[in-house]
């Protein structure tokens, strides 16, 4: 009786242990955290001799703006190039841009930044690192971006017009951008995402008091939400010492504001958002079926990677079918595809999506054809030959990444660190990924993908 109980217990615990198995992480990164909370990632890569990429990533974006600050997260990004503590741009002190260009780092190419809804990232890339002074000064730029922007009144006023012109040129000739601005408040009604695109409100950009920008900067640009990433032809030990020394004076926040990740609820009935623009000749139709996002705490699990693999197989096979329809003599749509991942701009909600483009007079037929194909997959599943073709494609891609593992440029390793810090994605090696893909290739069955498509398509 006791033997039978033990066997039963082992059988029950085995699936649990597999589901809790974590992925093997890349050991070539030097990772750490300073006393003030600042995280750092350092990795040597000799593929680009005498060059390195320097990044500062921040878990803050336009979603954190107060209503009176709409557009100021993006505005602040611009101000990072308009005067810092050690690069004032006045008198004998060169500004960030002139100094970088003096060492061959061109603004807009290798000196850049972006602000999105959830994150803000700055970079100084392809920096020549033979001279210690250049390395020290580049780190000093990241240091100043972290907490020491000047934000002078006159520079803020000058930048208002720059932002306004950027808004005007971005919207001119970009019908999809304009339509998105009008559709998102409908799709996200009642949530923080309803009105949070980084470009913001031009009325606020033109008229905000200086204090509102400084308030956002002081509240959110802080070391517990920041990471320094350095990848390239460097000595890792020396770089770690430099980072610890350079960023030690960035103050640890007292009573910091909570970094909230705003939820997006499921809806009881279908939300329909329709918009038109005279410069958009093709009808664009997007259908989203909301799903729960994978918790950050589960992203390093083998079970999570396996589920993602099964989902990717499903989307790949449906897309192959849609591509076959597109190759017909008179296809019902100009383009069509499915995908699975983040729901539009919200980090806290995922979705399975179906998108297609067509002429207005063909919208009904296009809709019916695209929907019919996804429903056919849901109701009848796939064939074994479809699955084997899809598997072969994924395995070949993993094998290619493995064989090319020693040819990675700096940006590849930077991207992995960014995804780890900003999205909690595990950093794994190409060797491990290939081994895992081979395992999944053997394990995943037709029943697995048919079950997954039935859950995805609702």
Q: Where is the domain boundary, 190, 223, 247?
A: 247
Whether 4 has a pLDDT exceeding 50, the answer reads no
Residue 277 lies inside a defined structural domain of this protein: no
Q: What is the side-by-side strand order in the sheet with 335-343?
A: 283-292, 346-358, 335-343
Residue 184 lies inside a defined structural domain of this protein: yes
How do residues 298-315 score in pLDDT, each as one tens digit? 999 999 999 999 999 999
What contacts 96, CB < 8 A, 6 or more positions away?
80, 81, 84, 87, 89, 111, 141, 144
Query: What value, to the nearest 5°, has the Cα angle with vertex 282 and ends 281 and 288?
Result: 140
Task: Identify whether residues 162 and 289 lie together within a single domain.
Answer: no
The pLDDT value given to residue 19: 62
Residue 8 lies inside a defined structural domain of this protein: no
Any idea of the CA torsion for 229, 408, 113, 427, to the nearest 10 degrees?
Answer: -50
By the 8 A CB rule, do 162 and 168 touch? no
Q: Where is the domain boundary, 191, 220, 247?
A: 247
How do residues 42-91 score in pLDDT, each as one tens digit? 999 999 999 999 999 999 999 999 999 999 999 999 999 999 999 999 88
Report the percentage of the chain scoring pLDDT > 70.
96
Residue 48 lies inside a defined structural domain of this protein: yes
The pLDDT value given to residue 63: 98
Residues paired with 238 in a beta bridge: none
What contacts 335, CB < 8 A, 6 or more positions away?
326, 355, 356, 357
Whether 6 has a pLDDT exceeding 60, the answer reads no
Q: Which of 377, 65, 383 is nearest to 193 (CA)?
A: 65
The pLDDT value given to residue 305: 98
Task: Count how many domains the chain has.
Answer: 2
Residue 59 lies inside a defined structural domain of this protein: yes
How do residues 93-125 score in pLDDT, each as one tens digit? 899 999 999 999 999 999 999 999 999 999 999
Task: Identify whether residues 300 and 203 lie together within a single domain.
Answer: no
The pLDDT value given to residue 11: 42
pTM here is 0.93
Whether 17 has a pLDDT exceeding 70, the answer reads no
The pLDDT value given to residue 92: 77
How do residues 174-222 score in pLDDT, each as one tens digit? 888 899 999 999 999 999 999 999 999 999 999 999 999 999 999 999 9
Q: What is the band of 18 on the pLDDT scale with cuts at 50, 70, 90?
A: low
Q: What is the band of 325 on the pLDDT scale with cuts at 50, 70, 90?
A: very high
Query: Any idea what the CATH number is for the domain that residue 364 is in?
Result: 3.30.830.10
Instruction: Give the pairing type, strands 51-58 and 283-292.
Output: unpaired
Q: What is the band of 2 on the pLDDT scale with cuts at 50, 70, 90?
A: low
How do residues 341-368 score in pLDDT, each as one tens digit? 999 999 999 999 999 999 888 889 999 9
Q: Which tokens hold the place of 5?
A: 């109980």
The pLDDT value given to residue 108: 95
**Domain of 412?**
284-456
Q: Which of 145, 170, 172 is nearest to 60 (CA)?
A: 145
Residue 11 lies inside a defined structural domain of this protein: no
Among 228-232, 238-242, 279-283, 446-450, name the one with the lowest average pLDDT. 279-283
Residue 80 lies inside a defined structural domain of this protein: yes
Residues paired with 114 in a beta bridge: 121
The pLDDT value given to residue 177: 86
Place of tokens 């073709």: 389
Place of tokens 């030690």: 248
Question: How many C-beta atoms lie closer than 10 Å to residue 396's C-beta?
Answer: 11
Helix H, strand E, coil C: the string for the chain is CHHHHHHHHHHHHHHHHHHCCECCCCCCCEEEECCCCCEEEEEECCCCCCEEEEEEEECCCHHHCCHHHCCHHHHHHHHCCCCECCCCCECCECCHHHHHHHCCCCECCCEEEEECCCCEEEEEEEEECCCHHHHHHHHHHHHHHHHCECCCHHHHHHHHHHHHHHHHHHHCCCHHHHHHHHHHHHHCCCCHHHHCCCCCCHHHHHHCCHHHHHHHHHHHCCHHHEEEEEEECCCHHHHHHHHHHHCCCCCCCCCCCCCCCCCCCCCCCCCCCCCCCCCCCCEEEEEEEEEECCCHHHCCEHHHHHHHHHHHHHHHHHHHHHHHHHCCCCCCCCEEEEEEEEECCEEEEEEEEEEEEECHHHHHHHHHHHHHHHHHHHHHCCCHHHHHHHHHHHHHHHHHHHHCHHHCCHHHHHHHHHHHHHHCCCCCCHHHHHHHHHHHHHHCCHHHHHHHHHHHCC
Task: Identify whether residues 234 and 335 lie together within a single domain.
Answer: no
Task: Identify whether residues 226 and 353 lie together within a single domain.
Answer: no
Rounded Cα distance, 55 and 230, in Å? 6
How do residues 130-184 score in pLDDT, each as one tens digit? 999 999 999 999 999 999 999 999 999 999 999 999 998 888 778 888 999 999 9
Report the percentage of the chain scoring pLDDT > 90.
88
Residue 16 lies inside a defined structural domain of this protein: no
Whether 5 has a pLDDT exceeding 70, the answer reads no
Over range 377-390, report the average pLDDT. 98
Q: Which tokens hold the place of 158?
A: 């000058």
Whether 371 has a pLDDT exceeding 90, the answer reads yes
By the 8 A CB rule, do 164 and 202 touch? yes
Task: Identify whether residues 290 and 186 lie together within a single domain.
Answer: no
């Amino acid at each position: 009786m006791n033997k039978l109980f033990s066997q039963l217990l082992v059988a029950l615990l085995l699936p649990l242990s597999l589901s809790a198995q974590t992925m093997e992480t890349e050991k070539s990164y030097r990772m750490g955290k300073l006393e003030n909370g600042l995280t750092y990632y350092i990795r040597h890569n000799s593929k680009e001799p005498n060059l390195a990429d320097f990044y500062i990533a921040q878990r803050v974006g336009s979603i954190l703006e107060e209503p009176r600050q709409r557009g100021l997260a993006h505005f602040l990004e611009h101000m990072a190039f308009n005067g810092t503590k050690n690069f004032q741009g006045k008198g004998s002190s060169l500004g960030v841009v002139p100094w970088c260009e003096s060492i061959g780092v061109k603004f807009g190419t290798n000196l850049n930044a972006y602000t999105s809804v959830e994150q803000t990232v700055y970079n100084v890339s392809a920096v020549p690192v033979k001279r210690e002074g250049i390395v020290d000064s580049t780190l000093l730029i990241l240091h100043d971006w972290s907490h020491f922007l000047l934000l002078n009144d006159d520079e803020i006023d000058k930048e208002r017009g720059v932002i306004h012109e950027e808004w005007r040129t971005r919207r001119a000739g970009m019908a999809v951008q304009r339509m998105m601005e009008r559709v998102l408040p409908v799709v996200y009604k009642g949530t923080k995402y309803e009105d949070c695109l980084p470009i913001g409100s031009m009325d606020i950009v033109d008229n905000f008091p200086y204090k509102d920008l400084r308030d956002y900067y002081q509240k959110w640009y802080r070391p517990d939400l920041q990471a320094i990433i350095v990848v390239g032809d460097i000595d890792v030990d020396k770089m770690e010492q430099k980072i610890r020394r350079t960023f030690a004076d960035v103050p640890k926040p007292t009573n910091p504001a909570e970094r909230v990740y705003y939820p997006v609820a499921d809806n009881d009935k279908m939300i329909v958002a329709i918009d038109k623009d005279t410069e958009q000749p093709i009808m664009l139709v997007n259908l989203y079926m909301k799903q729960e996002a994978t918790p950050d705490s589960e992203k390093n699990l083998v079970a999570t990677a396996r589920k993602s693999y099964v989902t990717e197989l499903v989307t790949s096979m449906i897309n192959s079918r849609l591509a076959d329809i597109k190759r017909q003599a008179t296809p019902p749509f100009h383009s069509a595809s499915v995908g699975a991942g983040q729901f539009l701009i919200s980090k806290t909600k995922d979705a399975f999506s179906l998108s297609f483009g067509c002429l207005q007079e063909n919208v009904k037929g296009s809709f019916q054809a695209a929907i019919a194909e996804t429903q056919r997959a849901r109701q009848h599943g796939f064939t074994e030959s479809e699955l084997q073709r899809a598997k072969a494609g994924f395995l070949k891609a993993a094998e290619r990444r493995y064989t090319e593992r020693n040819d990675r440029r700096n940006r590849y390793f930077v991207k992995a660190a960014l995804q780890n810090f900003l999205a909690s994605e595990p950093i794994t090696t190409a060797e491990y990924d290939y081994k895992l893909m081979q395992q999944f290739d053997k394990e995943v069955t037709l029943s697995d993908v048919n079950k997954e498509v039935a859950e995805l398509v609702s």
